[in-house]
Each structure stands twice: as structure tokens, then as C-alpha cells.
Structure 1
Amino acid sequence: MTFIQKNGFKVFMHVFGSLIFLSLPVVFSPDFDESLNLIFISPFQRNFFTYLLLLGFFYINYYLLIPRFFTGRRYLIYFLLISIIFICVVLLPQIIFGFPRPHFGPHDMPPSGPPPHHHKAFDFFRFISFGPPVIQFIIILIFSIMLRLYDQLRHTEKEKAVAELSYLKAQINPHFLFNTLNSIYALSIEKSDATPSAVVKLSGIMRYIINEASQDMVSLEKEITYIRDYIELQKIRFGDTIRLVFSVDGRTEGLVISPLILITFIENAFKYGINPEKNSSIEISIRVEGSWLTLKTFNYKAANIIADETQSKLGLKNTLKRLNSIYPGTHTLTIDETEGAYSCELKINLI
């Protein structure tokens, strides 16, 4: 959903909610049967105007008073302003449309016999709609505070998720970058034909992380290109010391994915699967079927102890949090670890 769509939906919900709220004094008015004459009846005018003031109070409290005074812990000023608004909401309708007073004219006497029976829910809403303004005011006050605090909590959680993503993006493995630069330096000394290609791929990786990965979603083709460049640089680093199988199958056009959501599993395959003392084997496959993406990795576990194992586990933990946040209920992760091998299978529904 785009920014314009999100804001359009929000405006629609505010307008719709306001209309529903303003319809309450109409629907539950004792004089509802009067049809268009209802707007000329003083008690209805007074009550409808009260609802207009309550609606205005809701938005003033939600957008101005709560963020500026309540959440700013300036409680004395906040409750002073609330008290002033409450007096206005209660007195203004009475001053403009007159104070309610009983009338006992011959045509206004209540009908004889038992009062008409109404459903309890109907009586409750009528009481809320035409009850004392203090009850209506307290309900609006509590609702606006709870709604604002809930929105602030959601905003905080979103900022936290963005911060975690930024942290993950900032976790460019310094060992990978350092070793890649060393490999490129060695290739340049040897005047290898692979030097320009290595520089271009490293440049593409850095450009992707700095520019593209700042978005919420990127095209799947760009994410796979980033992964491909990463794997090609690893090939340059380790040369013929590893047996590396990488494949991509399926149609990726039109699909988007959260950036850097796959790379952690691929990085771990290299971190845990490279043994400098003997040839290593790593298999990585990406398959797209419809809207489902499947990533599979397999590697034999290296006998040597990896120095940045803690960092690897932290990166995996952050990725799992992102998966649960961005793809809740639409992804599965299966990890199979034995004494000598490690494999994982990640499935994500990209729609």
C-alpha cells in the first residue's frame, strides 16, 4: 500500500467514523419520528450541537493536547485545559439553544399506561446519546487518550523495526569487505583479468546496501542480483578451494521482497562451510513458484572455530525478527544441523 493510499484510507476512516458519531443523536432521538422537523426541535438542536463540540474536542485532544501536554507529562496544564473545554461543551449548547426545562402543557402529558418497551441495547445507546454531557465527555476523553497511546505504541514499534533493519544493514561483515579488498589487491598485482569484474561487483553490493536497501521493499530481481554478486566475490576470494553450486529458477518479474532478508542464511553458509585445510562444498538455490520463494542452503561444517560466531547468531536472530514482523504467518524456516553438515530451507509468500 502506497503512502497516498494509506493516507487516503486514514482520511476515509476519520470521515466515516465522524459521520457515524454524528448520526447517534439523530437515530436515538426521542423525536426521530418527526422526520425533517427534527432539526427545528430545541432538545435535538442542543444535543446535536453538543456532539459537534465533542467531535471537535476529540480531534483537539488527539492531535494537540495529548502529544503536547499529556505525553509531555505536563499534567496540570492538560487537565486545566480539559476542564475549560468540558465547561464549554456543557454550557455552550445551553446558552445558544436554551436550558432544558420541563413543560407540562395539556398536549405534552405522558401517555397513560405502562411505558413502551424498548430493547435494552437501544435504551443503553439512547442513554449514552441523550444522557448527561459529562458521561459523553468522559467516554470521548478516555477513548482519545487510549487511541493516541495505541498509535504512539505502534509508531514506536515501527521505529524500532526500522532501527533494527538499519542496524542489520550496517552489519556489513568487515571481514568480508577486508578480505574482498585484499583479494582484489592480489588480483591487481597479478594483473588478472578478473580485477575489473571484482571491483564492479563490490561496487554493486555497496551501492545496493546504501541506496536500494533503504526501501521497505525492493524488486526480487535486484535482491537476487545482489546475492549473485556476493557469491561471485566469494568465488574470487576462495578460488578452487570450494565447490560452489548456485542456481535460480522460476519467474521473478513483478515480485518484491524485503531487502537483505535472504543474505544472512547465505553468509552463514560461507562462514560455517569454509575449511582452509581441505576442499569445501556449498550449495545454494533460489526457486520461485508463483508468489512463493524458496531458499535452500547446504554446507559441510568446517572443523575450525569461527571467531565471529556471536555476530553470526545475532544477525540470524535479527533476520528471524524481521521475518516474523514483515511476513507473519506467511513464511516457514526449517534448519537441519548435524555434527558434520548444516542446511536450511526458507519459504516466503511474497504477496
Structure 2
Amino acid sequence: MKATHFKIDRKYFWVELSFLLFLSFGVSLISDLEYSTYEQHDITRFAEDIGYRLITGSFSLLTYAIYYLAFLKRYVFGRKVVGIILCSVGFVIIDQLIYKFPTNWVIIHTDLVSNSLKKRAVVDLLRPHIIFMFNYRVIRSIIPLIGLAFLIRSLTQEREMKELKEQQLVSELNYLKAQLHPHFFFNTINNIYALALKQSVQTAPMIARLGEMMRYILYEADQPTVPLSRELTFLSDYIAVEKIRHQAHIDIQFDVQGIRSDYRMEPLLLLPFIENAFKHGLEEETKNGFVHIVICQTDQDLTLQVSNSVPQPVKKTGVSGIGIQNVRKRLDILYPDKYQLDINETPKLYEVNLILTNP
């Protein structure tokens, strides 16, 4: 990841700010509480140095924030080891300079600090040399802040990977749906063509139904989800087209039970199973073929049951087809471990049972 990719992320900003506040004020407060309790035997005495801790903590917060947000985090995200080392050395030097001059000056000129601490600040301020405590700063500040930067980078990368996977899933779903659309229209146009050759009076109504289905696919089915009632209207139009195409003695039944008005689902998810039943179940049937479709919803799940006759002798056309292959992939993406698909085939019956767990 390049350093230019770094930015302050609102999602983790409050975590970082809380950590900086704890490092600046919380650690010292805990240390004072422990000293007052175990050394002075009076826990309330930690309040005697509260003003001093507020001043030193405020300066520490400023230097920590600049060091972490402006330099360290950028180099950690960019995996710049030399940058991490140089900015850390610079932090120790600048932190000690700030403590010696501005911090001591404020301590001396404020009424929040006891006289003993003021005298100590005067001595430190007038001392001609500066003591750079690298070991203390590395343990007390640098290692925790580097650890925080690596944690935030890890969380950010994990989130970006998750977003990338989601984008890939959306792209794959769109690709599968794009495959399904021409496949559906190809089959339906073939049906209309067959009726037109016979000069059937049902050709015009069939074209009108197809227009409604095209409108749904082009303008509504590109959404992530649609109301189940709208999907059922589309399926009803499709089945009506199939009833027009097939003879009256073909048994076609469509039953819907217990549909919730607020339930939404992915568009065109059920169509391939129904389309497959008509295409392969009645393609060669001329006498007593059937297609029975039941869609039932309960509080727990949505069930689709499609059964159709198997023409005798059946042609080896590959019953699964592109539609069924696509819908299996879509189910794996949309309902991982939340669906059950059973396909049973006998010499005279082909049956599909799909159960989708309600969200």
C-alpha cells in the first residue's frame, strides 16, 4: 500500500483519539493512583498533582497527535521502515525539547501546580543540558503508537478486502443476470415464432405479455431486490404465455400461498426453474404432459416446488441448462448456507424443491 493512500478514516478516528487520550492522561493517572495507594497509603493524594498532569498530558497529546497522524501512521501504511525510524527519533528529540521549554514554562507560571513541582520545573528549565530518554519513550510511547498504527492498517485492509469481495460478487451477479436475460428472451421469442408460423390468434396477446415481461426485466430487475409480489406477477405473465403456447389438454397449475407483502428477494431467481420445466418437460409432450408450480411462504422460509412430466422418449438435451447452472451460482453467492436445493428425477417425473431461509 502506498503512502499516498493514507487518509484519516472516520470509522477508526475515535479509536485512535481515545488511545491518544489514554496514553496522554490515562497512563499517568493510573500511575498516580497506584503510587498514592501503595506508597503514600492515601488514594486521594493523587489529586495533589492533577494540575501538573493536565499540563504535561496536554503537551503530550499534542506531540503524540502530530507524531502519529502526520508521520508515523503515514509511514506504517506505506511500509516505510526508514521513515518509521527517523520520525520516531525526531519525536523523542522534539518531545524532550517541548517538555524542557514550553511545558516547564507553563508549569512555572500557573496556579494549578504545587510549589514543589514549580521549583523542580525551574531547576529543569535552567539546566544547561538536555537528557534524551530514548528507552523510556520507546517503551512508553513509540511501541504503543506503532502497534496502534499497525492495528488500524490491518483493520483498514480487512475492510477494503471485504468491500472488494462485495464488488466482485456484485459484478459476478450482474454477469450471471446478463447471461440469463438473452437466454430467457431467446426461448420466449422462439415460442412466439412457433405461434406466428401457425398464424395463431394468440400471437398478439403473447407479444403483449412479452412486452410486460421485457419492461420488468429492463427497468426493475436490475435492482438488488424487488418485492416478491412483483416477481410473482412477472412469473404469472410468463406462465400465461406458456399456457397460450401449449394445448388446452396440457395440465399447467400455478399456486401461490402465504406471501408476505413486505418480503423482498433477488429478481429472476425463480424463473430458471420454471422455465426449465416448460422447456424440457413439455417440449416433446403432445398428450398428457403437466407442469405444477407451488410457491409457499412461512415465517421461516420461502419454498418453490416445480414438478413436470418427462416426455417419452426424452431427448438428451441437458436438463440443467445454462439457467439452472447460473441460478446455482447465484444461490451460492446470495444465500450461502441459507438455501436447500433438491432435484429429483425419475423416468416420468422431474421435480425441483428450493427452500430459501427468510432473512
**TM-score after normalising by structure 2:** 0.68
Question: Mind listing any 5+ residue stretches in structure 1 that lack a counterpart?
Answer: 1-9, 109-127
After TM superposition, list the pairs within 5 Å mapping 1:1-351 onto structure 2: 14=12, 16-25=14-23, 26-29=25-28, 30-31=31-32, 33-34=46-47, 37=51, 40-42=54-56, 44-53=57-66, 56=69, 61=74, 66=77, 70=78, 86=88, 89-98=91-100, 131-172=139-180, 174=182, 176-185=184-193, 187=195, 192-240=200-248, 242-278=250-286, 279-290=288-299, 292-302=301-311, 303-306=314-317, 309=320, 311-325=322-336, 328-329=337-338, 331-351=339-359
Question: CA separation in 1, counterparts of 2:85 and 2:249?
Answer: 77
Q: What is the deviation of 1:309? A: 4.4
1:170 is displaced (CA, Å) by 0.9
Measure the CA separation in 2 of the matches of 1:256 and 1:313. 21
Distance 1:141 1:296 in 2: 54
Q: How much does 1:155 deviate?
A: 1.7
Q: Any idea what the Cα deviations from partners look like across 1:76-114, whole Å, max 9, x if unmatched?
A: xx556656655565555444344899xxxx978xxxxxx
- Provide the rounded CA distance (Å) in 2 between the counterparts of 1:107 and 1:305: 98
| Deviation of 1:57 (Å) | 5.1
Q: Give the Cα separation in 1 of the matches to 2:155 and 2:86.
A: 22
Residue 147 of structure 1 aligns with an amino acid whose one-letter code is L
Residue 189 of structure 1 deviates from its aligned partner by 6.6
Q: What corresponds to 1:4 in structure 2?
A: none
Kept in 2, the 8 Å contact 1:286–1:293? The answer is yes
SS in 1 for 2:163: helix
| Amino acid across the alignment from 1:306 | T
For 1:130 and 1:41, locate their aligned partners in 2 and report how far apart those are by CA, in whole Å: 22
Percentage of identical aligned residues? 29
The answer to whether the 8 A contact 1:285-1:295 is kept is: yes
Give SS of 1:246's match.
strand
Higher mean alpha-carbon deviation, 137-146 vs 16-25, is at 16-25
- Which is worse superposed, 188-197 or 258-267? 188-197
Distance 1:210 1:16 in 2: 44
RMSD: 3.8
Q: CA separation of 1:277/1:298 partners in 2, compared to 1, >3 Å: closer, same or farther?
A: closer
The residue aligned with 2:121 is none
Q: Extract unaligned runs of 5+ from structure 2.
A: 1-8, 34-45, 105-114, 118-135
Number of matched pairs: 303
SS in 2 for 1:282: strand
For residues 308 and 266 of structure 1, what CA distance do their matches in structure 2 show?
Answer: 12
